[in-house]
Amino acid sequence: MTAINFKREIPDTVDHAIERATKALAAEGFGVLTRIDMHSKIKEKTGKDVIPTVILGACNPNLAYEAYTANSDVASLLPCNAVIREIGPGKISLEFVMPTAMMRILGDSKLAELAREADVKIERALKNV
């Protein structure tokens, strides 16, 4: 199975991990465009419970611009998702998308090259959470 994200576990709360992840992404030029409280939406729409899971849609505007102007189909793969999931009391899983994995879908070598730079930034942000 091919990896689609970078992962790490940290001791924290969901809210504090979101704050830390947002700051670490910002340090790498990514802004958070969207926030989906998945557990709340699942409960609201189905009445079912899932563990606290928040999806942040992060975007580096310069990299997004380069990718979009190289191949506008990339818009379907943006923004980059960062998932913050509570996996136990005081234990958080951070899962940040691997841009190169997403760009492989399009089979565009120029996008794959651009995505390598994004991989470095995303992975560095994850390490700095």
Q: What is the pLDDT of residues 59-88, one digit of tens each?
A: 999 999 999 999 999 999 999 999 999 999
In a domain, 53, yes or no: yes
In a domain, 109, yes or no: yes
The answer to whether 62 touches 29, Cβ cutoff 8 Å, is: yes
In a domain, 4, yes or no: no
Residues 106-118: what's their mean pLDDT? 88
Neighbours of 65 (CB within 10 A): 11
In a domain, 43, yes or no: yes
Structural domain span for residue 40:
13-127
Q: What is the CATH number of the domain that holds 74?
A: 3.30.310.70
pLDDT of residue 107: 86
In a domain, 3, yes or no: no
Number of domains in the chain: 1
User: Phi and psi at residue 125, in whole multiples of 5°?
Assistant: -60, -45
Burial 96-110 (b: 16+ CB within 10 A, else e): bbbbbbbbeebebee
In a domain, 92, yes or no: yes
* 11 preceded by a cis bond (ω within 30 of 0): no
In a domain, 69, yes or no: yes
pTM for the full predicted model:
0.93
